[in-house]
Amino acid sequence: MASPTATAPPRHPMSTRNRLLFFLTAWLIVLMPFLFWWSTWFGRRLSNTQITQYLNDDKHPRHIQHALVQLGERMARPDAAATQWYPQLLRLASHPVEEVRNTDAWVMGQDTSAAAFHETLLNMLQDSSPMVRGNAALSLVRFGDAAGRPQIIALLQPASVVAPAAGRVIDIDKVGTSVRQGGLVAKLNDGRRTIEIRTPITGRIRTLSVATGATVAAGTQLAALDPGSEQVWEALRALYLVGQPDDLPAIRIYERNVPEIPDRLRQQAALTEKAIQDRATSHP
């Protein structure tokens, strides 16, 4: 006997309310990442009023950076109207957020006619952040000032990540890992709390000095990082103009034919060495 044919349960159409909720949810899933990107993208044009507001928005450091980037582009054109914000640029040189000071140092290098920028950049060579010191030194080269040459050489050299306190290493990254400035490299437990240890530069982990589980004293080096390509590129370009024979050992490292050194860095290192040698020959 043939079995009776099973009948499918009736399908109930989605209600208008549920359809609207479904499409609204899907729309928000697409919209929210876009709004976040739009709010943090430094290429979004700001009006004069917005630049003033953003430069004074100490609660949102990325707003300050956004305004600084826009202002730097105006200064590079050049745009005479940009001078109205110069007092704010001088004020931001001592801002508590490192990324703001770093961007500010770059922007002040866009107008070498401003004597106050020159003086402020010289003071920024003593900043607590190696990246701020480096950016200040690079901007000073635009002024024809080689006072920051030691800081530029430091940009070519590995950076150390050290333990800020005594404790036990509970996690640490791997050799060869690429990290961005401020990225997490290791975690340390001092007996009371877990401390996140972050990189001072963008680059690649070159060596580790300790392993997970090790107990370290405050100030112990945990890792060494090779600087990122863009940092090296800018340093080599600056040394092309102000480098001295004593700088050649640091430069020649980037002339090596090894996979981790891009061709453009090798070429720039060779050009920089030649420029230094030519200057030494012309002015012994």
Instruction: Tell me what pLDDT residue 24 has.
Output: 55
Lowest mean per-residue pLDDT among 38-47, 60-69, 247-256: 38-47
- The mean pLDDT value for 206-231 works out to 94
Omega before residue 78 within 30° of 0, cis: yes
Smallest Cα–Cα separation from 221: which of 208, 206, 205?
Answer: 208
pLDDT tens for 47-65 read 899 999 999 999 999 999 9
Question: Does 281 score more than 70 pLDDT?
Answer: yes
Mean pLDDT of the chain: 88
Whether residue 37 is predicted with pLDDT greater than 70 in this model: the reply is: no
Element spanning 215, H or E: strand 215-216
pLDDT single digits (tens) 61-105: 999 999 999 999 999 888 899 999 999 999 999 999 999 999 999
- Beta bridge pairs of residue 162: 221
Mark out the alpha helices in 130-228 (DSSP H runs). 130-142, 149-155
Task: For CA atoms 117, 122, 123, 129, give the dihedral sign.
Answer: positive
DSSP labels, 29-82: HHHHHHHHHHHH-TTS---HHHHHHHHT-TT-HHHHHHHHHHHHHHHHTT-GGG
Q: Is the pLDDT of residue 30 over 60?
A: no
Task: Write out pLDDT tens, residues 111-152.
Answer: 999 999 999 999 999 999 999 999 999 999 999 999 999 999
CA distance linking residue 181 with residue 71, whole number of Å: 23
Phi-psi region of 97 (alpha: psi -120 to 50; beta: other; left: phi over 0): beta
pLDDT on residue 77: 87
* Number of Cα atoms under 13 Å in the Cβ half of residue 86: 19
What pLDDT shows up at residue 19? 60
The DSSP element (H or E) to which 241 belongs, if any, is helix 229-242
Q: Are 233 and 251 in contact (CB under 8 A)?
A: no
Residue given tokens 């003593």 in the structure block: 126
Q: Which of 3-12, 154-163, 170-179, 232-241 has the lowest mean pLDDT?
A: 3-12
* pTM exceeds 0.85 for this model: no
What's the average model confidence in pLDDT over 18-45? Answer: 52
pLDDT at 10 over 70: no
DSSP 83: G
- Which residues does residue 171 pair with via DSSP β-bridges, in sequence order? 187
Q: At what angle do helices 61-76 and 48-55 cross, to 10 degrees?
A: 130
Interatomic CA distance for residues 214 and 205, integer angstroms: 18
Measured CA to CA in angstroms, residue 16 lies from 10, 26, 27 at distances of 18, 15, 16
197 near 235, Cβ under 8 Å? Answer: no
Residue 39, pLDDT above cutoff 90: no
Which one-letter amino acid corresponds to residue 78?
P
In this prediction, residue 41 has a pLDDT band, given cuts at 50, 70 and 90, of very low
d(CA 14, CA 276): 75
